[in-house]
Amino acid sequence: MEQLVKMVWMRAAICWACCVPSPAHAAEVLRFRCTLLDGSVRIVMQDIALEFAQAVRNCEPVAAMRVPAVPLPLVNETPIKSLVSMPAPPALLPAPLVREAPKPVDTLVRDASRRYRLDYGLLSALIQVESGFQPGARSPKGALGLMQIMPATAARYGVNSPQRLLDPGVNIDVGARYLRDLAERFGGRVELVLAAYNAGEFAVERHGWRIPPYPETQLYVRRIMAMYRPR
C-alpha cells in the first residue's frame, strides 16, 4: 500500500508540474480499482492516498484516462470564504463525501472544540480526512489515532505512550491542543494551520509563511477546506 501511495503522489506531482489551463492540452490520470475493507469496490483517481488510505484492502491500477489539464490554484492565494465554495477540477479533486462522526467520537470532538476554542466543523473535517473516524488508525510513517498524531508531537503535551495516544479522548485532546497552538502561531490563518498540521510548522515558515509546494500538502488543505462547514 505504501508503494501505491508513493506512486500516486509521484503521478500527481508530474501532473501538477505539467498541467496548463489550455483546452488543447490533456493530462493522463491514473485510475485504480480498489477493494475497501467493507468489501465494496471503487474506481478512484490520483488522490486515493488521502481519501481511502485508511479504508483500502488492496488496489490495482487500471487503464489511464485523458482529461483536460486544469492546474490546482494555490490555496494560500485564495480567500477562505471563496475557497469553501470553489468547485474543484473533478479528475483531480472529486467532491468529498462529508460524513458525520460516530456519536462517541462526535461528543469528544465537540468537547475539545469548546475547550480549545476551535471550530467544530473544522476539527471534524480534519479528523475525517486524517483517519476516517477510525480510532485505531496507524500510518506507515507512525502517526496514530483519530487525528494521526506523531508520537514526537504527542510527547510535547506529556503523552509518551503509543497506547495512550490511541485512546480517542487523549488523541483528540492532544490534536486539538496542537491545532490551537498552530492557530496562535500562524495568526488564525486556517489554511496555514492545516498546512502546518500536515507538513510541520517549520515547513510553512521555511516557505515564507505560505503553504509548502508539496502536492500532498496542497491537496490535504484543499480537501479539508472543501469539507469544512463552520459550525
> What is the model's pTM?
0.60
Q: If residue 24 lies in a helix (H) or strand (E), which one and from where to where?
A: none
Can you give the pLDDT of all 231 residues of the chain as single tens digits?
Answer: 445 444 444 444 433 333 333 333 333 445 566 666 656 666 655 444 444 444 555 666 665 444 333 332 333 333 333 233 333 333 334 445 667 888 999 999 999 999 999 999 999 999 999 999 999 999 999 999 999 999 999 999 999 999 999 999 999 999 999 999 999 999 999 999 999 999 999 999 999 999 999 999 999 999 999 988 877
Angstrom distance (rounded) from CA 64 to CA 198: 29
Q: Which three cell numbers stand for residue 211?
A: 503553504
| Cα 29 to the center of its chain, rounded Å | 20
Domain locations in the chain as residue ranges: 2-71, 95-227
| Catalytic-role residue among 28, 77, 100, 130 | 130
Shortest CA distance to 109 belongs to which of 92, 93, 121? 121
CB contact at 8 A, 191 and 225: yes
Known active-site residue 130 = yes
Q: Which three cell numbers stand for residue 152?
A: 514526537
The fold of 95-227 is: Lysozyme (1.10.530)
What pLDDT is recorded for position 86?
32
